[in-house]
Structure 1
Amino acid sequence: MARGPQPARPRRKSEGNIQENLVKTRIGGDLSSFMKGKTDPPKGIGKAKHFDVIIEFNRDFPGGGTAARQLLFEAFLLYLNRIGATDESNNLWRFGMSPPLGMPAVSEDSKLDLSQMFSNGSRIAAKSLWTDSYAFATLTREAIDRLSSWTMPQKDDDKNKGETKSGSKNKKTPLVYKIWCDHEIKRCVYESVRTIKCDAAHASFAASGKGVVWAVADTGIDGTHPHFKTLRTLDLPDGLFHRDFTADNPDPTVASAAALIDSAGHGTHVAGIIAGRTSVLDEPKTDAVKKICVKSEVRNENGTKSTVKDTHDGVITGMAPHCKLLSLKVLANEKQGKLSNLLAAIGYVQRSNDYGRNIKIHGINLSLGYPFDPVWFAAGQSPLCVEVDRLVRSGVCVVVAAGNAGYGTVTQFSGAPERASHSGTIMDPGNAALAITVGSTHRDMPHTYGVSYFSSKGPTADGRMKPDLVAPGERIISCALYNGAKSGEVPFREDTGTSMATPHVSGAIAAFLSVRREFLGQPERVKEIFIGAATDLKRRPEFQGAGLLDLMRTLQAV
């Protein structure tokens, strides 16, 4: 018997959510969720009227994305002039803002119309000028809505006819491609140097990092620490400067000095794993150093922790002791930093390298990131991941932390909580396809203890295998802040996380490139070689990737 028309099936709530997530819009899913109150906003936003955003411009705009960005800048300057606030206007000009070639003719009325979206509290950060595709701004909900729908005004004759002179339909050109939320990013070695065979590589191949420059995007590097004085680790080749992106410093000298101040200690610890040397007895000795003190934590019988201070009489060295380090300060302290700071820092590396035409910075270490949500953007397609992949294609090795979200709490069927390993927890920018994403293993017994329980596990949300490698990340000893250290005493401390595993790989690659210089500027080939030479720890690939980093085998493989 034939069936009559069936009533429409009510759409379930989950189906509606999926459909909404896939709707094309110029407001990113992350920002939209915060604006609608569906997701807890980044710390500091609360229910404020303004949102920190990353504006990605439309490359199809007349004159390209740089012209679109310039138009927004000029509209913002009109707003500042209208309200009589000249400080920020002068600050933008001091950074050297100038109209790009191919800038279309836009009427003053149109610029004035665009400037109307700005209001009290609106801001465009001068660090935007370090990138070519983005602007970093603070805007109201109304301004975000208006900017997302603003299109290039059409000529009157075309507008009236509805067609161009060629007869094709007249298409309005939007100013922006997407507006994203400016996320908060978070920070995600004398025994571990043997674990990855860096000591053997130093002795057998003289793989010490000479002639290689590695950037560290972090909380800054303590420029007063003696570990970086022995081999003049922070003295950069001509044309390169340290840079602080946590504040708009148009004066290069001020910005450079600020990058060598670290109030948190995370960046200093990471930097000490990559490069530098501290020695009391063996040459080359560290000047004015009489004692190396190492602080570590021990667990007492009653479950409490206490700090133990030991003296070390030998040498503490980075994986590539002679490598030069470039400090890019993107985190103001241990817990605070904007994604826009990191995007600006990546833009700075691109410009320093003349976009791959003259590579001066050979690699960058990113021991930081933020949790990935597939509702916001596809895995590996966030603005940060896109810029990381672009940097790799320009000839720079990018080494990133997988994250520390590999273990947590799940709810049983009965409702009781239970602790368990979590798969699919790789953080951004670890989801970037071309980056070398690093998980953590034990400091000196990786075959016995395997992958660290906290190390984020793959695969990515779109099915790619990550992490790529694992390296020591548990109780790693490196530089502590030098502030307040006693005369002749150099402080070191333990720290744990994939943040500590990542610089092991950065240092090993710097050491490799110093003796296999034909691979400079070929980061994808370098990644392939290191993955192929890794040691299998007999753990699942979503835990260990290709396995444990092995510098000696990598050098012997080529």
Structure 2
Amino acid sequence: MGLKVPRLLVEFILLGPEDDRRQLQDSPILGDVWVEFARQPQKRLEVLITPHREQAAAETANALNKLVPGGREEKDRTNIAYLQGIVAARLTFDELIRFVLPMTFWWSESRIADAMKDYLTNADTLFGELIETRREAENWLGDGSLAAVQDFETRRRFSVLTALLLWAAGQPENSEIERRTPKDQARAVVDAMRGKERAIVEALTNLFPEGLPPRLDMPFVWTVSLNRRATPALSRSVPAVKADAARTLFTVNCSQIVWAVIDSGVDARHYAFRGTTKDAKTGTVTSRVKRSFDFTNIREIVTLDNLDPERRDKRLATLLNKKLKKPPSTAKADEYLRLLAEGANEGRSTSWQLVEPFVELDTDDILNRPKTNHGTHVAGILAASRKGAEEANKAVPDASVRLEVPDWADGMCPDINIYDFRVLAPSLKETEFAIMATLQFIRYVNDRYSFMTIHGANLSLSIPHDVRNFACGRTPVCNECERLVNSGVVVVAAAGNRGYQNFETAEGVFEGYAAFSVTDPGNADGVITVGATHRFWPHTYGVSFFSSRGPTGDGRLKPDLVAPGERIRAPLPGNTWGDLDGTSMAAPHVSGAAAMLMARYSELVGQPRRIKDILCQSATDLGREKSFQGNGMLDVLRAFQSI
């Protein structure tokens, strides 16, 4: 693992001491990348590379693929892949500095390249700055003195920290410091630096044995960020938002509406999702989960690594091991991967028709039942129907083995159709790239048929936003959500469950409510962002304690509204039911409301911003702060009456 460098020391070197620090750093390597490489200096990290505005993602990916050697073993592969506007790669820290940094606009425009050249030809310069930085850190960590701290120039900050992390990767692990306070962790690393300054300097100067690469007239890279992880953020909740009354009074039929549930997977075999039509071949009742796609392995499908026949062959065994709906033969699968890689190498956009056979699952196969509850529960709040279980029970004379049919079993839209998109794997994985691929695939599906096949998307997901990396609402996943909204698709996202947090200070740990805690993709402007409230007494209890608070970091009103999110009963995999909590449960209530509006008023199809406006303006004021409740609690009946 190498010597772990604590975040406190990283921020001291990169930004300055706490009492006299810059708020932003200048390098294209964003703060979360620095911190994660400091925590795991030997590891390959999943990063997202934003191309320079004058370069296509394909050109950037191909340029990087030609430069970075990677390795033959799976653990050493760079796995470079791209989508519209973004490139993903698995890189070590030295690869990031050697190959990616010289491709950046910052390198070509700033004086950092000249400074690095100076360090390579005169290591004593960097040696002196490293000694000075260590002394300043010792003073600050000792008595907190700032007297000795000089102005930190960008090139000094960058070069000293780069040298430290390169050196740390080759040192023994120091996991025992994690049990210490943040300042004690920093002191331990500073102590380890003493007397090793020359070795630290050489870790950087030896990185370019043949000298620095020439500056590019046309840089490829704008920024480098982490490929972030997303986490999952019916009882009487449907009557609470008056959806049952709206269905009755306005005769709403959602059978022509299709909603994407982007989550951990939906159990299509659950009786709550049974439809009313029978399969012409088998005679069995079909599921309203019309299609299911697994995007958790999208990188393995679109990576430029597949130009290598040997690597393709190894990947095929994994990709074809799933229960696919229309599995291609091994020869065809190899051809598809080769064509995808060759297309990427030639700078063409992703051929989704070649991706589709690798990601579409057989919804009838029990082996495709999701391993976790979250996605099925979310889909059930939106689409559960008691009719499926009731029909099945008629054929079972023994009451003891009949299916459970709880009261209020109908979801928001008991006749809506679902597209299941799986982006959350049972194990922790970097998922932002997979989410973006899914959003682009939805646009492809709608464009392919020249009409709105998928009307909306529910993202009960939470990705914390680091304010020093991107402007709020301008992260890669937020930008992709905006593109989907602009294409005419309603996008509903959970606000996140970070409204009440633990905070660690020098005086210890304390708990409290957290403003500005809305997570991505809920920070995207065009998305309908949903907080949580109580399912029975929303006026009494107001906004749930865990529900993320607004406003956004750049001052916009979020969440947009709230809906029930506490102890919500809905289907779980395996024909069972259960209660879950969170803004993840609140979001599908709003997805259902949006679907009902489109089902009743077809002119609203393809008008996501108009639908958002209707739902927000008709919400019921709970008497709480706007930054807590947004425009208020979802009121479906009032939304219908307002049109």
Q: Same fold (TM over 0.5)?
A: yes
Q: Deviations over 1:165-197 (max 9, x none)?
A: xxxxx9711122222211111001141110011
Q: Distance in 1 between matches of 2:380 and 2:396?
A: 16
Equivalent residue runs for 1:133-172 within 5 Å: 133-145=85-97, 146-150=99-103, 172=217
Structure 1 counterpart of 2:48: 54
The verdict on how the C-alpha distance between 1:70 and 1:376 changes in structure 2, with shifts beyond 3 A counting, is same
Counterpart code for 1:234: R
1:68 corresponds to which of 60, 66, 90? 60
| 1:118, distance to aligned residue in structure 2 (A) | 6.6
Q: Distance in 2 between matches of 1:505 and 1:257?
A: 27
The verdict on how the C-alpha distance between 1:257 and 1:70 changes in structure 2, with shifts beyond 3 A counting, is same
Q: Distance in 2 between matches of 1:311 and 1:379?
A: 44
CA contact (8 A) 2:253 2:415 kept: yes
| 1:125, distance to aligned residue in structure 2 (A) | 4.7
Structure 2 counterpart of 1:163: none
Structure 2 counterpart of 1:446: 538
Query: Which secondary structure state, in structure 1, belongs to the residue aligned with residue 590 of structure 2?
Result: helix
| 1:257, distance to aligned residue in structure 2 (A) | 1.7
CA contact (8 A) 2:103 2:216 kept: no
| 1:22, distance to aligned residue in structure 2 (A) | 3.9
| 1:59, distance to aligned residue in structure 2 (A) | 3.6
Query: Which secondary structure state, in structure 2, belongs to the residue aligned with residue 242 of structure 1?
Result: strand
Structure 1 counterpart of 2:254: 209
CA contact (8 A) 1:264 1:334 kept: no
2:22 corresponds to which of 4, 18, 21? 18
| 1:492, distance to aligned residue in structure 2 (A) | 0.4
1:256 counterpart = 2:360: yes
CA contact (8 A) 1:151 1:172 kept: no
The verdict on how the C-alpha distance between 1:320 and 1:469 changes in structure 2, with shifts beyond 3 A counting, is same
Q: Which has the higher helix share?
A: 2
Q: Distance in 1 between matches of 2:389 and 2:264?
A: 31
1:554 counterpart = 2:548: no
Structure 2 counterpart of 1:32: 34
Structure 2 counterpart of 1:469: 561
Q: Deviations over 1:275-328 (max 9, x none)?
A: 13123796x6777578999xxxxxxxxxxxxxxxx9656451120111111111
Q: Distance in 1 between matches of 2:388 and 2:485?
A: 39
Structure 2 counterpart of 1:228: 273
1:370 corresponds to which of 455, 459, 463? 463
| 1:12, distance to aligned residue in structure 2 (A) | 6.3
The verdict on how the C-alpha distance between 1:491 and 1:334 changes in structure 2, with shifts beyond 3 A counting, is farther
Query: Which secondary structure state, in structure 2, belongs to the residue aligned with residue 327 of structure 1?
Result: strand
| 1:67, distance to aligned residue in structure 2 (A) | 3.4
Q: Distance in 2 between matches of 1:230 and 1:221?
A: 15
Structure 2 counterpart of 1:398: 491
| 1:444, distance to aligned residue in structure 2 (A) | 1.8
Structure 1 counterpart of 2:375: 267
2:294 corresponds to which of 237, 244, 268? 244
Query: Which secondary structure state, in structure 1, belongs to the residue aligned with residue 501 of structure 2?
Result: strand
Equivalent residue runs for 1:105-184 within 5 Å: 111=66, 114-116=67-69, 121-123=75-77, 125=79, 128=81, 131-145=83-97, 146-150=99-103, 172-184=217-229
1:407 counterpart = 2:511: no
Q: Deviations over 1:420-454 (max 9, x none)?
A: 32211111111111111100000122112111111
CA contact (8 A) 1:233 1:275 kept: no
The verdict on how the C-alpha distance between 1:370 and 1:356 changes in structure 2, with shifts beyond 3 A counting, is farther
| 1:409, distance to aligned residue in structure 2 (A) | 3.8
Structure 2 counterpart of 1:100: none
Q: Deviations over 1:451-494 (max 9, x none)?
A: 11111111111111111010000000001120xxxxxxx41000
| 1:116, distance to aligned residue in structure 2 (A) | 4.1
Q: Distance in 2 between matches of 1:124 and 1:516?
A: 49
The verdict on how the C-alpha distance between 1:535 and 1:339 changes in structure 2, with shifts beyond 3 A counting, is same
| 1:15, distance to aligned residue in structure 2 (A) | 7.0
1:512 counterpart = 2:612: no
Q: Distance in 2 between matches of 1:334 and 1:287?
A: 39
CA contact (8 A) 1:58 1:174 kept: yes
| 1:418, distance to aligned residue in structure 2 (A) | 4.8
Counterpart code for 1:499: S
Q: Distance in 1 between matches of 2:528 and 2:22?
A: 31
Number of paired residues?
A: 450
The verdict on how the C-alpha distance between 1:246 and 1:458 changes in structure 2, with shifts beyond 3 A counting, is same
| 1:115, distance to aligned residue in structure 2 (A) | 4.4
CA contact (8 A) 2:492 2:590 kept: yes
Q: C-alpha root-mean-square deviation of aligned residues, in Å?
A: 3.1
1:543 counterpart = 2:628: yes
Structure 1 counterpart of 2:573: 481
- Gap runs ≥5 in structure 2: 1-14, 106-214, 277-285, 301-318, 321-326, 328-355
Query: Which secondary structure state, in structure 1, belongs to the residue aligned with residue 380 of structure 2?
Result: helix
The verdict on how the C-alpha distance between 1:528 and 1:417 changes in structure 2, with shifts beyond 3 A counting, is same
Structure 2 counterpart of 1:532: 617
Equivalent residue runs for 1:324-473 within 5 Å: 324-333=417-426, 336=429, 338-354=431-447, 358-409=451-502, 415=507, 418-473=510-565
CA contact (8 A) 1:187 1:334 kept: no
Query: Which secondary structure state, in structure 2, belongs to the residue aligned with residue 361 of structure 1?
Result: coil
* Stretch deviating more after TM superposition (390-399 or 314-323): 314-323
Q: Distance in 2 between matches of 1:292 and 1:230?
A: 23
Counterpart code for 1:422: A
CA contact (8 A) 2:266 2:375 kept: yes
| 1:14, distance to aligned residue in structure 2 (A) | 3.6
Structure 1 counterpart of 2:414: 321
Q: Deviations over 1:196-244 (max 9, x none)?
A: 11101111112242211111111111122111124445353xxxx4211
Q: Distance in 2 between matches of 1:417 and 1:453?
A: 19
Query: Which secondary structure state, in structure 1, belongs to the residue aligned with residue 229 of structure 2?
Result: coil
The verdict on how the C-alpha distance between 1:233 and 1:539 changes in structure 2, with shifts beyond 3 A counting, is farther
Query: Which secondary structure state, in structure 1, belongs to the residue aligned with residue 91 of structure 2?
Result: strand
* Stretch deviating more after TM superposition (352-361 or 139-148): 352-361
The verdict on how the C-alpha distance between 1:319 and 1:149 changes in structure 2, with shifts beyond 3 A counting, is same
- Gap runs ≥5 in structure 1: 1-10, 41-45, 76-110, 153-169, 294-309, 483-489
Q: Distance in 1 between matches of 2:479 and 2:411?
A: 30
| 1:417, distance to aligned residue in structure 2 (A) | 5.3
Q: Deviations over 1:126-159 (max 9, x none)?
A: 8x46x2222222111122221232379xxxxxxx
Q: Distance in 2 between matches of 1:345 and 1:398?
A: 13
The verdict on how the C-alpha distance between 1:523 and 1:445 changes in structure 2, with shifts beyond 3 A counting, is same
Counterpart code for 2:60: A
Q: Distance in 1 between matches of 2:521 and 2:398?
A: 39
Counterpart code for 1:57: P
CA contact (8 A) 1:441 1:450 kept: yes
The verdict on how the C-alpha distance between 1:501 and 1:215 changes in structure 2, with shifts beyond 3 A counting, is same
1:276 counterpart = 2:384: yes
CA contact (8 A) 1:440 1:497 kept: yes
Counterpart code for 2:519: M
Q: Deviations over 1:1-39 (max 9, x none)?
A: xxxxxxxxxx962476425x241x33233213323x2xx
| 1:359, distance to aligned residue in structure 2 (A) | 2.6
Q: Distance in 2 between matches of 1:32 and 1:202?
A: 52
